Every structure is written in C-alpha cells, then in structure tokens.
Structure 1
Amino acid sequence: MPAISQWTGSPSIKGSSESMRMAFLTTCLIGIQFTWGTEMTYCTPYLLALGLTKSKISLVWIAGPLSGLIMQPIVGVIADHSKSRWGRRRPFMIGGTIAVSACLLVLGWTREIVEAVLGKSGMEGEDMEHREMVKSATIGLAVLSIYGIDFAINAVQGSCRSLIVDTLPTPKQQAGSSWASRMVAVGQLIGYAAGALDLGKIFGGWLGDTQFKQLTAVAAMTLCLTVGITCWAVSERVLISDGMEEGEKIGAVETLTKILRTATNLPRGIAAICVVQFWAWIGWFPFLFYSTTWVGEIYLRYDAPAEVKNSPDMLAQVGRIGSLSLIAFSIITFLMSVLLPWVVKAPEDETRSFTPRPPKSIASFVIEFEKYKPSLLTAWIASHCVFAGSMILAPFVHSLRAATIIVAICGISWAISCWAPFTFMGIEINRLSPSNDTSYHNLTRDSIELEVPSPVLRLQHGPDELNTSHNGTAEGSGIYLGILNLYTTLPQFVGTFISWIVFSLLEPGKSPELAKEAHPDEHHSTDGPNAIAVCLFIGALSAGAAAMATRRLRHFHS
C-alpha cells in the first residue's frame, strides 16, 4: 500500500517585502561563506608557517571533499525524515553552527591549547625533543580543527540550501538561487575585507593577539548571527508522519542504501547537472583553496621589497595581499549576482505560454531587449569559458597586478556557478511532480509567503518514492542536494591528487617564497614554475570539459 506523508503548518518567511524575505531566507549563507573564506584565505599559509610542506597540505584539504561526501547526503536523508517541531532543516543548522564555532576558536588558539596541556617550549638545547613534540601536537590539533570545521559546516550548508528549495515554489527557484549567490558574494567580500584589514588595530587584544585568532573569532560570531537570523525569520512545515510504520527508524545501513540507490538512479536532468558540477569543481578546487597563497607568492617572488621578504610576520603579509585580490573577486561576484538576473532569461521564462505586457511607453524597448537576453544555460556555458580562459594564463603571470586581474575576472564565473546549478536543481526537483507543486503553493503577486489549504497536508507516495520529492513539494530536496554535493566533492579528491603530484614534483620542500631556512635536501629555488599556477592551469582544462557537459543540458531545458 502506498505510503502517506502528513504535514502540518505552512512554509513562511518574515518580512514586509519579497526582497526582505529573500534576504532573510539566504542570510545564513553570508556566515557560511565567511567561514569558508577564512579557511581558504589563511589556513594554507598558516599551515605553511607551522612547517607543513605543500604536498602534505594538499592532503590536509581532503577534509573538504571528504566531509562533503559524508555529511551532506547523510544529513540530507536524516533531515528529510525529521519530525522536529522546529522543522527539518533548522535544528541541523543550529547544531552545526555551534560545532563550527567551537572548532574555529580551537583553530585560532591551537598553540595555546597545546602548550596548556604539554607545557611551553623551552629555548635550551635539551628541550629540543619537547619543542618538536609541541610543534607536532600543534600541527595535529590544527589539522583536526580544520576537519571539524569542514564536517560541521557541510551539515549547515546542506541544510541552508535545502531550506531554500523547501520554502520556495518553482517560479521563485531562480530568484532564490540568485539571492543565495548575492549572499555568498557578500560573505566573501566581508571575509576577505576582514582578512585584508589590520584587525589588531580595530579590536586591540580583545579577540586575541594575532590576526589569525581575531579572524577566527569574527568568523564564529558572524556565522552564529547570520544563521540565527535565518532560523528566526523562516518557518518550516512540520513532518508529522513519513509513512513509515510506528517505531520504525532509518538506521545507518538504510541511510547509506537510500543514498546509494538514489545516486545510481537519478532522473536524467539531475544527473546531467551533477556531471557538469563534477568537471567544474575539478577547476574550482585549486582556485578556491590556493589562489590567495598564489597571489601572495607572486607578490613575494616578483614585486615585494626586501623589507617585506624579511618581515617576521610573512603569514600576515601573504594573507593581506591575497585578501586584497579576493576582495576584487568578491566585488565582481556581487555585482554580477545583482546584475545578471536582470539580463539572463530565467528557465521558466523560456517555456511559459504567455508573454507579460510591459507599459506602452517602454514596450518596444523591452520586447527588443527580451529577444537578445541569453538563457541561464548559455550564461553558465560562458562562465566556464571565462574561468578556463583566465586560469590558462596563470603560469605566465609575473606581477601582482596581473594576478589580481585574473582572480577578479573569475568573479564573473563564480557568481553564475553559485546560482545556475541550484536553480536548475530546484526546478528539476519540483518538476518531478505531475502536479508541479500547485496543490499547496499559493504565491501572491507581492509575497512569497506560502500557505496550505488545510492544517494537515497528506501526500501520497509509491513504495519506492518515499521522501524523494516526486510529489513536487521538494520533500526530498535534502537527499538530491546532498547528491549534488557528492558531485561537488568527488572532483576535489581528483584535484587534491593532482595538486599533490604537482607539488611533489615542482616544490617537494617548503614553499620557496615562504621558506625562511634552507635545507640541502629541499627545493627552495624560485626560478622554476609556480606549482599552484600549474594546478590552476590544469583546472582550466577541466573547466573546458564542464562547458561541453553544460551544452548537453539543452536536451533537458530546450
């Protein structure tokens, strides 16, 4: 007998206008991106300063894809079946935020925590063994903290993205995704700006005695604030029954089986989007994790004066220079995320059976403009090409200005990459329903508050369709977006392996730009190619493959 899911309440968002509601719904992404930005901007040079080689650091960054591979699909399945009175997504957002904040603070104060447990390092020769033990423990705790941050923030991020798909009906999926892209850009901009500022002059010693400590503390506070705003503003429907027998639970084996079964039997449209993500993220991974260090190394190699190269706090120098280039990247990302939705045709506009009548005074201009608006699919293809064209130049860059320009241009591609896949996924998830979700979405002209016709909404599923969104309520958005994240994280393993090989061959020792002490067995010459630039070049080739894969999506959105 078909399983029956029962719900109560209606999804709604506080706010007096649609723009305010959209902003509240996506505010959580500011804190998430701030945290990612802090990790990507400072953690690579931080680990280099602790003494790790680039090849070992490339293995540390397996934390990102590994956590995404595990956390988002599992949290998605568990949340899809959650009967919490607070909704399916917000409890995971809050719990994950607390865990991320704790790990950020541990990362910032790693050395102090280790010294409190093992004792401070002495300066005498007989304390060499103790100093090495403290150093190893500091590196170990720092790496463990990074893993904790990545695992927890993936749970938060997956829940935030699912909340957007759950709350908005199909006609508003593109608007929700474009607002999410704007908030990601805002989070990046705030994070990189904070990294470029001298926080010690702003906060004094209140948040710590180093730039890195202060940045991790600010990131933790920002994440708590922004996730708190979204959780306060959004009300979810509450799942009363998922159709399972009383006392029956989804265990670990059932959860993994469900993920595997769904991932290997994806609807064709969703599968095609996942393939694009796979190729695109082989290119984006080295850019997001190493571009700050690359820009800083270009500066130190070609443009930095002697006093900067001899600075005792070279980590701060690299972080600030890299952050300045990423501020330009974030500004371009934000501007594009605001402007492009106005000049790019939404997917639903391509298939609707009516044409809106603009005011007579501007009708001719609007009609002519509509003829030349590119589709979102075309814009996505172009974004891959722009990214590939920029990154293919990376090995030939010999100035800070050129490196900054290349990084900034990539903001165009990043704006669309944060917007297009989630728009198409949201549409595909809701399109799986024959009813196209009109049975319960009551969307007024000026509001995105959603209502249901009765206190309890019952949705019928076939035996193999439990909570997989075939009813158009975005009921299974958690698992589908979790699987999309699988295709975002799996290529990061590929990227990590590629970067490990490149770093091992070209820079087997410490960073030649950041190395303070030479060792006869280590390579410290700056005469050869920059290893990160080679990784970016390889990523450009993958972006070209992503453009070809995106073209095939026309079969599903034509």
Structure 2
Amino acid sequence: MVAGGVQYGWALQLSLLTPYVQVQYKYFTLINVFNDDLYLVQTLGLSHTLSSLIWLCGPVAGFVVQPCVGLWSDRCRSRFGRRRPFILVGCIFICFAVIVIAFSSDIGYKLGDTKEDCSIYHGPRWRAAIVYVAGFWLLDLSNNTVQGPTRALMADLSGTHGCSKANAIFASWMAIGNILGYSSGASGKWHEWFPFLSNRACCEACANLKGAFLVAVVFLLLSVLVTSIAGREEVAPSTVEERVGIMEIFRTIKNLPPKMPYILLVTSLTWLSWFPFNLYDTDWMGREIFHGDPKGTPAQMKAYDNGVRAGALGLLINSVVLGVTSILIEPLCRKFTTRIVWVMCNFCMFICMAATAIISSWSVHSYHGSIHDAIISPDGSVKAVALVVFAVLGAPLAVLYSVPFAVTAQLAANEGGGQGLCTGVLNISIVIPQVVIALGAGPWDGIFKKGNMPAFAVASVFAFVCGIVGLFVLPRLSTKNFKASAMSSLH
C-alpha cells in the first residue's frame, strides 16, 4: 500500500512539475475572450531544454542510494524489521520535500523575492526557484530511499503466493496511486476548494499545486501507517557483527546472480524508450496536440494549460489500464513465460512511441491557426488518437513495473545476492537511462526545433532494439518455480 502512497506524489510530479517550471509569471486581462475572466499563469519560467535537467537528481540519487539502502536493509537487525525503518524514514522525508515544493513561492517571498502581488509581477522569483529545485531533489532522493526496501519487503512477504503475483499486486497499488495522483493533477479547482492557499506570493497555479501535494501527504501518511502495521517481518537475530560500509557494498555487488547482467541490460534499454514520454507527456499534449506555448500569447498559454490538463486525463486513463493489466500479468507469465511477456511489452512500446512522433507531425500539419487567434483548439481526431496512445501505454507500463522486479526476486532467491541489494542494483539500470535522457532529451529536441518529436522518435528506436535484444538474452524463466523461490528466500 505504501507503493500507492509514493506513486500518488510521483504521478503529481510527472503530470504537473515539468509544465509548472516552464511557464513564466504573466498576467493578462482577456476582454471578450474568456468571459472577461483573468487568465493567470504563475510558475517558474525555465526553458524547455533546462526543465529536463531538474530531473537529474533522482537518477543520480538512485544510482547510489538504492544499492546502499538495499544492502543496509538486507543486513538490518532492528526489532522493527529490516525494511520498515527505511520505509518510514524515507516517507517522512518525502512529506517534508513535498511541503517544501508546495510552499516554495511562499518561502521565496519570505526570503526576499519581490513583494509585489503575484498577479501583477512579471519577473522571475529566483529564491522561490532555488527552494523549489532543492525540494524537488530531496523528493527524488527520498523516493529512492523508499522504493528499494518496499520492493524487497514485498518479496520477503510473498510467501506461497510467489514473487510474480506479489509484484502484480504491487503494480496494482502503483496504479491506484497513479489514478489518484493524475486525478488531482487534472483538477484545476484546488484554489477554489481551499481559497486560503492563495496569497500575494501564490496565485492560482501555485495554489493548485499546494492543494494537490498536501492531499498527497495525507494519503502517503495513511499508506505508510497501514504498511508499517500490517507488514510484519520476522528477523532472525544476528550473532556476527557485519560491516556495511560503502566499499563493502561494491564488493557485494560482485556476488550478484550470473544472469543479472542480462536483466540489467534489457531494463536499461526499456527505460531509454520509456523515459522521454515519462518526462514530456503532458508537455507534448500542450505543445504538439493543443498547439500551445507556455511563453506565447495569452491564447497560446491557455491552449498549453488545456493540453496539460488533457495530458493528465490521458495519464489517468493510462493508470486505469495499468491497474487492469496488472491483474493479468501473472497468468500471462505463467502461460507465455516472463521473457515473452517482457519482449511483447517492448514491441508494444515501440509501436506507441513511433505513433507519438507520427501524431505530432499529423497535428502540426493539420493545424492552420495563427498566433493571433483568440481561441486555440486541437483537432478532435488528433486529440482522441493521442488519448488512445496514453491508454495503450498502460499495458507495457504494468509489465515494466512488475516483471523485471519479479525476475530479479526469483534470481535472488534461487542464486543468492540478497533481495534488497539485487533490487537496488536493478534500479541502477533504471536511473542510468534517466540520466542520459535528462541530459540529452532537451538539447536533442532543441537541435531540431521540433518540440518533443525528436526525443519520441529516438525512444521508438530504443524500444525496437530492446525487443530484439530481450528476445535473445533474457533468461527463460516461467512462474512455475516462483512459489518455491519465494519460500526459499524467506528461509
């Protein structure tokens, strides 16, 4: 359940924070356009190229934190269990980081940013931006602290049900967190429901972010409480004092199961194809599908905002498909083996990523509007097809959230290595592609000046290559031995 709580906040990050950091502080009165309402966008104003760099801390932290925390939890002999102390501490830091992000504008205001009202100030708020980035990085660091021990706890407690079914349940909770998070992101009414969140330093967009993240804190605290109480661990007392230093961690990595390098390779290629969409999905809807611009005319900014909200709706549909598919993964793996299911996932991603580039080109060529248009709206057919792509991607995402971890858990149970350490090392194969994409996607898109299309086109190539490679190098495992593997891991 704690996976659902963490994923709630992660879904908010994916749907809101990349667009949030790009739009500048602007204020417009649009007479006879939007019912004479005030259209206000008050965010941080970073460029499309630089926005991807903000995501670097998560992968960098995951590269170091998850293997360390994984091994430390394997060796932990606390009376509260091996995994739960790390999960609890990590969730506390997540709550703190979320509050820092939500109130970054208020903190920047107190630290000396402009005293003008946010509705009339046009310039940057650098102190707020620094606080925001610090909170964002702390959030990613805390997320990585929680994820490894949570996966390991799931494998520890899977019992006779087996790792495959347990990972499917884990993915289902992630889907629930996604659904709640994207629902929150798709709503722009938080500032109306909680008007006290708005002030001179924090206008509509900021207040919406506050409301969504504060609800995320409440849900995460409830989730971690249930997991801490219900997830009872039996820890054997240790009679030998074990050193768990940094060098010990690197020495222990040498003892990973022999087949793990193949799992790491295919996982890396899979995430190279997935993360560009993960990073720019709502931005893609705002720019290419709705023809908006976060730094353009009032009509373009309104169109971009509508696109971001439509993207959040697409992610919500994606999460529903993810939840349904999670239920089917275990019987699919039993029928076709985990290798075939994983390869099918990669080829599905190839088709979808190629479709995003095609849809982007279709949308751009079918649009005949002008930057002076008072109202900008997308082509209905293009929007519908884009939402279908969001929905279809829920199926391979369910596989990506469960099958690699189930295979890793089985290898750790059969051939040793430790559940926590193997899960942490698997995360390295996830974060390295994220670093590559975070560093390269923005500049790569900037070279071609085609929005998000170049990054999505490269993602489709990686997905195809990954499917071919996975077909030949993934271990031929089925779920027949998962139950025995899970029982042996408990012993």
What TM-score do the two structures reach when normalised by structure 2? 0.81
Q: 2: CA distance between counterparts of 1:275 and 1:320?
A: 35
Q: Deviations over 1:433-462 (max 9, x none)?
A: 6xxxxxxxxxxxxxxxxxxxxxxxxxxxxx
Segments of structure 1 that go 5 or more residues without pairing to the other structure are: 1-26, 347-372, 434-467, 469-475, 508-528
Deviation at 1:206, TM superposition (A): 5.5
The answer to whether structure 1 residue 384 and structure 2 residue 378 are counterparts is no
Select the residue among 374, 383, 387 that pairs with 1:400. Answer: 383
Deviation at 1:325, TM superposition (A): 0.9
Q: 2:486: which partner in 1?
A: none
Q: 1:45: which partner in 2?
A: 19
Q: Deviations over 1:338-378 (max 9, x none)?
A: 23433x143xxxxxxxxxxxxxxxxxxxxxxxxxx322321
Q: Call closer, same or farther: CA 1:119–1:498 in 2, change over 3 Å.
A: closer
Worse-superposed segment, 259-268 or 37-46: 259-268
Q: 2:82: which partner in 1?
A: 88
Deviation at 1:318, TM superposition (A): 4.0
CA contact (8 A) 2:190 2:212 kept: no
Q: Residue 277 of structure 1 aligns to which amino acid in structure 2?
A: T
Q: Residue 59 of structure 2 aligns to which amino acid in structure 1?
A: P
Select the residue among 50, 56, 77 that pairs with 2:71. Answer: 77
Segments of structure 2 that go 5 or more residues without pairing to the other structure are: 24-43, 199-203, 364-381, 479-491
SS in 1 for 2:78: coil
The answer to whether structure 1 residue 485 and structure 2 residue 427 are counterparts is yes
The answer to whether structure 1 residue 415 and structure 2 residue 407 are counterparts is no
Q: 2: CA distance between counterparts of 1:302 and 1:56?
A: 19
Matches within 5 A, 1:136-155: 136-155=126-145
Q: 2:39: which partner in 1?
A: none
Q: 1:447: which partner in 2?
A: none
Structure with bigger helix share is 2
The answer to whether structure 1 residue 172 and structure 2 residue 162 are counterparts is yes
SS in 1 for 2:240: coil
CA contact (8 A) 1:162 1:478 kept: yes
The answer to whether structure 1 residue 427 and structure 2 residue 410 are counterparts is yes
CA contact (8 A) 2:4 2:173 kept: yes
Q: Deviations over 1:404-454 (max 9, x none)?
A: 111211111101111111111111111126xxxxxxxxxxxxxxxxxxxxx
Q: 2: CA distance between counterparts of 1:261 and 1:546?
A: 29
Deviation at 1:171, TM superposition (A): 5.3
CA contact (8 A) 1:394 1:534 kept: no
Q: Residue 68 of structure 1 aligns to which amino acid in structure 2?
A: G
Q: Deviations over 1:139-198 (max 9, x none)?
A: 111111110000001111111111011222475111101111111111111111121124
Worse-superposed segment, 197-206 or 285-294: 197-206
Worse-superposed segment, 387-396 or 143-152: 387-396
Matches within 5 A, 1:102-181: 102-118=96-112, 120-122=114-116, 135-169=125-159, 172-181=162-171
Q: 1:212: which partner in 2?
A: 209
Deviation at 1:505, TM superposition (A): 1.6
Matches within 5 A, 1:492-503: 492-503=434-445
Q: Residue 390 of structure 2 aligns to which amino acid in structure 1?
A: V
The answer to whether structure 1 residue 243 and structure 2 residue 240 are counterparts is yes
The answer to whether structure 1 residue 285 and structure 2 residue 282 are counterparts is no
Matches within 5 A, 1:469-484: 476-484=418-426
SS in 2 for 1:502: helix
Q: 2: CA distance between counterparts of 1:242 and 1:186?
A: 41
Q: Call closer, same or farther: CA 1:395–1:122 in 2, change over 3 Å.
A: same
CA contact (8 A) 1:295 1:404 kept: no
CA contact (8 A) 2:50 2:442 kept: yes
SS in 2 for 1:41: helix
Deviation at 1:226, TM superposition (A): 1.0
Q: 2: CA distance between counterparts of 1:81 and 1:51?
A: 45
CA contact (8 A) 1:54 1:503 kept: no
Q: 1: CA distance between counterparts of 2:62 and 2:89?
A: 17
CA contact (8 A) 1:211 1:316 kept: no
Q: 1:464: which partner in 2?
A: none
Tell me the number of residue pairs that the alignment of Structure 1 and Structure 2 aligns: 427
CA contact (8 A) 2:338 2:476 kept: no
Q: Residue 223 of structure 1 aligns to which amino acid in structure 2?
A: L
Q: 1: CA distance between counterparts of 2:298 and 2:58?
A: 32
Q: 2: CA distance between counterparts of 1:120 and 1:302?
A: 28
Deviation at 1:249, TM superposition (A): 4.2
Q: CA RMSD in A?
A: 2.7
Deviation at 1:260, TM superposition (A): 2.4
CA contact (8 A) 1:186 1:334 kept: yes
CA contact (8 A) 1:170 1:427 kept: no
CA contact (8 A) 2:292 2:300 kept: no
Q: 2:446: which partner in 1?
A: 504
Select the residue among 525, 539, 542 that pairs with 2:459. Answer: 539
CA contact (8 A) 1:111 1:138 kept: yes
Matches within 5 A, 1:186-205: 186-200=176-190, 203-205=193-195
The answer to whether structure 1 residue 272 and structure 2 residue 253 are counterparts is no
Q: 2: CA distance between counterparts of 1:315 and 1:153?
A: 29
CA contact (8 A) 1:46 1:315 kept: no
Select the residue among 309, 330, 333 that pairs with 1:341. Answer: 330
CA contact (8 A) 1:44 1:290 kept: yes
Q: Residue 237 of structure 1 aligns to which amino acid in structure 2?
A: E
Deviation at 1:503, TM superposition (A): 3.2
CA contact (8 A) 1:82 1:239 kept: no
Deviation at 1:321, TM superposition (A): 1.5
Q: 2: CA distance between counterparts of 1:553 and 1:80?
A: 28
SS in 1 for 2:434: helix
Q: 1:324: which partner in 2?
A: 313
CA contact (8 A) 2:285 2:311 kept: yes
Provide the identity percentage. 25
Q: 1:20: which partner in 2?
A: none
CA contact (8 A) 1:34 1:191 kept: yes
Matches within 5 A, 1:508-523: none
SS in 2 for 1:418: helix
Q: 1: CA distance between counterparts of 2:442 and 2:150?
A: 32
CA contact (8 A) 1:87 1:235 kept: yes
CA contact (8 A) 2:339 2:476 kept: no
Q: Deviations over 1:531-557 (max 9, x none)?
A: x22212211111122212322345543
Q: Residue 81 of structure 2 aligns to which amino acid in structure 1?
A: G
Q: Call closer, same or farther: CA 1:336–1:555 in 2, change over 3 Å.
A: closer
SS in 2 for 1:231: helix
What TM-score do the two structures reach when normalised by structure 1? 0.71
Q: Call closer, same or farther: CA 1:555–1:33 in 2, change over 3 Å.
A: closer
Q: 1:11: which partner in 2?
A: none
The answer to whether structure 1 residue 224 and structure 2 residue 213 are counterparts is no
Q: Call closer, same or farther: CA 1:556–1:395 in 2, change over 3 Å.
A: closer
Deviation at 1:85, TM superposition (A): 0.8
Query: Taking CA–CA contacts closer than 8 Å with sequence separation of 6 or more, which of the two structures ends up with the larger relative contact order?
Result: 1
